[in-house]
Structure 1
């Protein structure tokens, strides 16, 4: 845990526990939100049941939707728990790595 705290730049075990709780809530919430969203835009599982894609298309789309929901919810839930700065920096670092350094290029490493 000491290495993780050093890597993330945090000092207290309490903050580490809060961060773990935020990650857990965010992961569960993003999976939970994707299904009603697909139903809202009229792309529920019944629409994918027939045809070539079947359930594969539905679950592929749902998994692709989970990622942006996760990004937004991480910032929102992190803010609710008073950890906006940590999660904003975490998001910038993650998106910068995924973009090959094209986004947030001025972010300190």
Structure 2
């Protein structure tokens, strides 16, 4: 399994693969914790319609998760890996909103 991830991610070390998985785990766990704190501050509760929760998630927590990936990546020495992934993602999202000229 690690070999497939290493090939997909373009890395060589098992340790680096494990550190990257730890970064994803820490960022994911942290965003759940942050959501529990921030949703009530935003006035979002169990009875709030799903579409409001969805757009709040996109507007607030998706960018926060990306920042957490970079922070935890930096702390665990994997910042270059996550920075490259972030740049690719921003370019991909940008293509959605930028119309190509003919």
Which protein has the bigger helix share? 2
Measured after TM superposition, the shift of residue 62 of structure 1 is 4.5
TM-score, normalised with respect to structure 2:
0.75
Asked if residue 83 in structure 1 is aligned to residue 84 in structure 2, the reply is no
Instruction: Find the aligned partners of 2:87 and 2:97 in 1 and give their Cα distance.
Output: 11
Change (3 A) 1:57 1:97: closer
Measured after TM superposition, the shift of residue 55 of structure 1 is 3.8
Residue 54 of structure 2 corresponds to which residue in structure 1?
A: 60
Report the RMSD for the aligned CA atoms in angstroms. 2.5
TM-score, normalised with respect to structure 1:
0.71
Could you tell me which runs of 5 or more consecutive residues in structure 1 were left unpaired when the two chains were aligned: 104-109
Question: How many pairs were matched up?
Answer: 96
